[in-house]
Structure 1
Amino acid sequence: MSGASRAPALAAGDAPLRLAANLDWLYGALPADDRLAAAAADGFAGVEMFAPYAHEPAWYAGALRRHGLQLVLINTPFRPNSPGRLGWAAIPGAQAEFRETFAQARAVAEATGCRRIHVMAGHCEGHRPDACQQALRQNLAHALAAAQADGMTLTLEPLNRADMPGYLYHLPSQVIAILREFDSPHLRLQFDCYHCAREGLDLGAELAQARGWIGHVQIGGAPERFEPDLSQGGLLQAVRELPAAGYHSWLGCEYRPRGTPAEGLSWCAPLRAEGVIA
């Protein structure tokens, strides 16, 4: 690689990104109770959990402490085979379900010290778009009051249409429009490189547009969702540019390993060598 294409070193005071293991994607073949131990053994300091609701919040807090791990992201609960199979926030008439499930997420966050909750909007096919948008804004107003009181960040994530047809939004620009309305530091974009790639978006352009709005970042290789291939789709440059876009936190590994998760982490070697990833 020529020197002309290399990103500048991190600015003074900029912290490198840290990798977080998505337990469901990286360690989904293991029993749920073994996943934290496996992530710690592979050197992760942070983890994401889709749905930490099978046990009481105190159970997760204790397990995280035992393994020296930080929980960095959870989803609001979703219920398969129901109208809330992709969340409740934008489902018209489901305010009670949203408040109940958000309270579950808030309890886990409080017990574990998790500072980010992904608010899942929902599968909106069959509902009027304006009714879904209205429901989302009403429910976000309720959730934001709690997030502000707790010092937490709520995130909204656009999901690509190939994998998640019918989800409320699939483009970062659609989420940013909502963020602008609320203009709250407690409501941010969950930027997923995989979903952007599956939508055929230019990662560099999307990052430029999202500058200042990003609250969490995830990565995976498109289209198979294996380990990222940094030579494809501008992915290497996109991750390099995250600090310049104002993001200095966790990079969620949300992909399916081809082999073992530890072996698969070789994808990030160039970024570690540059100091972009710790």
Structure 2
Amino acid sequence: MKLAANLSLLYPGLPLARRIEEAARDGFAGAEILFPYDLPPAELAMLLQAQGMALVLVNTPPGREGEKGLACLPGREADFDAALAQALDVCRATGCRSIHVMAGRPPEGAARTDCQATLVGNLQRAAPLAARDGITLTLEALNRHDMPGYFYRLPEQAAQVIAQVGHPAVRLQFDFYHCQREGLDLDRALRAALPLVHHVQFAHPQGRHEPDPADPAVAQALRTLADSGYAGWIGCEYLPRADTRAGLAWREAYQAAVAGRA
């Protein structure tokens, strides 16, 4: 279970090239970048390769200003296709193998059944394109406090969509932070989701700062994940309280939790 630095949040105030350098210096082998669309994909690939850094997750572009994704929006299928194409271009250039498909917020007045049908149809069209390049599309439930109105807020809701899509290239992105913000029993939610989990993220539920692997609920879930044989990435998607490097002491507690010593 390797840790990936979320370079959209960590090392704030630095240009992306410096963030990649600092993350590599701090021992991260992988990086998440939420929306890596300001640089040409080939240039981004060179920056990562120069530091021996793997790009492990990107998001699809969120859409117009204020939008939080396109995949569930009826009548916006062409926009979704264009957004997916952007993400696939980045993945092909960098070797990234995971794309978080942002479902978005249903438009005012839209029936949820219509939005779900749109989401499923978009994913059924997108999955074979991603699979052709060995790329997995992930769905992530986002908590209602940070992302009010988002199409799903619970992992089981995203799992229902995955079941409807019925393609092995569409799986679940499980985020400890969003589950804890929803007040879920973290270990129980993880155990229910494990067969679908492709990517994991975490942060402290208060303020979305450095994770606390010594917290009993988090430590138990990490052990469950390790015991399951999960060999993917855990994204460190948090807002540093102060200096990113100074805040990395939590990694000792992470190693202890994974080893069952917490």
Opposite residue 61 of structure 1, the aligned amino acid is A
| 1:185-239 C-alpha deviation (Å, 9 max, x unpaired) | 2111100000000000001110110121101000000121111123446011111
Q: Which moved more, 1:166-175 or 1:32-41?
A: 32-41
Cα distance per residue 1:50-85 (max 9 Å; x no partner) = 111111110111111011100000000113525xx2
CA contact (8 A) 2:73 2:107 kept: no
The 5 Å alignment of 1:158-197 reads 158-197=141-180
TM-score, L = length of structure 1: 0.89
Determine the structure 2 residue equivalent to 1:256: 239
AA aligned opposite 2:189: E
Q: Name the structure 2 match of 1:141.
A: 124
8 Å Cα contact 2:202/2:237 also seen in 1: yes
Distance in 1 (CA, whole Å) between partners of 2:178 and 2:62 is: 19
Higher relative contact order, structure no. (Cα contacts within 8 Å, ≥ 6 residues apart): 1
Residue of structure 2 in register with 1:24 after alignment: 8
Identity of matched residues, %:
46
Does residue 34 (structure 1) correspond to residue 18 (structure 2)? The answer is: yes
Equivalences, count: 259
- Hey, what does 1:229 align to over in structure 2? 212
Superimposed CA distance per residue, residues 145-179 of structure 1 (whole angstroms, 9 cap, x where no aligned partner): 11121111100000000000010000000011112
How far did residue 108 of structure 1 move?
Answer: 0.4
Q: 2:66 aligned with 1:116, yes or no?
A: no
Pair 1:97–1:38, CA change in 2 (3 A):
same
| One-letter amino acid matched to 1:265 | L
Instruction: Check the 8 A contact 1:212/1:246 in 2, yes or no.
Output: no
Shift of 1:27: 2.0
User: Given that residues 214 and 253 in structure 2 are in contact (C-alpha distance below 8 angstroms), is that contact kept between their aligned partners in structure 1?
Assistant: no
Cα 1:230–1:75 shift into 2, 3 Å: same
Q: How does 1:1-278 map to 2 (within 5 A)?
A: 17-82=1-66, 85-126=67-108, 127-232=110-215, 234-273=217-256, 276=259
Distance 1:245 1:183, change over 3 A: farther
**C-alpha distance in structure 2 between counterparts of 1:175 and 1:80, whole Å:** 23
Residue type of the partner of 1:41?
R
* 2:185 partner amino acid: D
The list of structure 1 runs, each at least 4 consecutive aligned residues, that deviate by more than 6 angstroms after superposition, is: none
Report the TM-score when normalising by structure 2.
Answer: 0.94
* In structure 2, distance between residues paired with 1:189 and 1:223: 24
Q: For the Cα contact (< 8 Å) 1:20–1:44, is it kept in 2?
A: yes
- The unaligned stretches of length 5 or more in structure 1 are 1-16
Contact between 2:128 and 2:169, CA under 8 Å: does it hold in 1?
Answer: no
Cα shift readout 1:73-117 (whole Å, capped 9, x = no counterpart): 0000113525xx211100110000000010000010001000000
The answer for unaligned runs of 5 or more in structure 2 is: none
Q: Structure 1 residues 233 and 87, CA, compared in 2 at 3 Å: closer, same or farther?
A: farther
